[in-house]
Structure 1
């Protein structure tokens, strides 16, 4: 399996850099009653996996979509995932940005594929579980409902260190 970790920097014309810090922190526990699986069902070993660290910035969803497109370009027939995966990535990163990432913390985007499915994971620094719903202004609150409708499966679980991981599994488009 090929694995790489990068940090996305907006100050260097959106280039990705190797992540300066590896995992190794104790796992934090999540509290709340939102019952979703902690991890995707076991699939074959991923053939390609990449990780990116995104800043707390309104431009992070766009940076994440760019990293996704670059990742999919490395997969045979990766274009089959593009439309749905871009929307799912945007929703998960936006949720982490708005509800899960505090100042001076980064958002971690992990993309992996086993050739049959694409798994998108987003880690943030908040232990609060995601809460799907509709807010009164009607302009937000739909993101997790959209994720639920568009992916094969999704869930949340603890991440290494502080916070949580929200993930979804995307099947290739049949068109």
Structure 2
């Protein structure tokens, strides 16, 4: 996907298509939409990348069908920092929100490539 604000909606659509193909995929819908939106928004707004670099998404049942792994790859090697947001802040809560809904999350360098992978693991049945 291009680094563009419209990619956030596209990411939600791709996630919805992936979940629609899964038996009981609806158990992940609400939380996973928020998490993918926040991770892609961070890649769009904050990743410092060369022109033309794309954002890559990957969804996987991991390690079993009761967990969903979301990965957002971008070409910026800088790892994001979870930071507190003041009540009056209008931005800066994306990673905090994602961390609240994910069972676990993290960031690591892209294997054999440029940039990083932000990932989040969501357990099924979490409402």
Q: 1:145 aligns with which of 74, 80, 96?
A: 96
TM-score (norm 2): 0.89
In the TM superposition, residue 174 of structure 1 has moved relative to its aligned partner by 4.5
In the TM superposition, residue 139 of structure 1 has moved relative to its aligned partner by 1.4
Indicate the residue corresponding to 2:110 in structure 1.
Answer: 159
**RMSD over aligned Cα atoms:** 1.7
TM-score (norm 1): 0.66
Which digits, 9 at most, give the CA deviation of each residue in 1:82-124, with x for residues without a partner?
A: 0000000000000011111523110011000131100000010
| SS of residue in 1 equivalent to 2:119 | strand
Report 1:8-157 matches (<5 A).
54-102=1-49, 103-113=51-61, 114-133=64-83, 134=85, 138-157=89-108
Rounded Cα–Cα distance in structure 1 between residues aligned with 2:22 and 2:105: 22
Which structure shows the bigger proportion of residues in helix conformation?
A: 2
For the structure 1 residues 129 and 174, does the alpha-carbon distance in structure 2 shift closer, same or farther, using more than 3 Å as the test?
closer
Rounded Cα–Cα distance in structure 1 between residues aligned with 2:86 and 2:74: 21
| SS of residue in 2 equivalent to 1:115 | coil
In the TM superposition, residue 159 of structure 1 has moved relative to its aligned partner by 0.3
Give unmatched runs, 5+ long, in structure 2.
none
8 A contact 1:96–1:107 mirrored in 2: yes
Which structure shows the bigger proportion of residues in strand conformation?
A: 1
Rounded Cα–Cα distance in structure 2 between residues aligned with 1:119 and 1:80: 13
Could you list the structure 1 runs, at least 4 aligned residues long, displaced by more than 6 angstroms after superposition: none
Count of paired positions: 122
| Structure index of larger Rg | 1
Give unmatched runs, 5+ long, in structure 1.
1-53
Rounded Cα–Cα distance in structure 2 between residues aligned with 1:83 and 1:120: 14
8 A contact 1:101–1:124 mirrored in 2: no
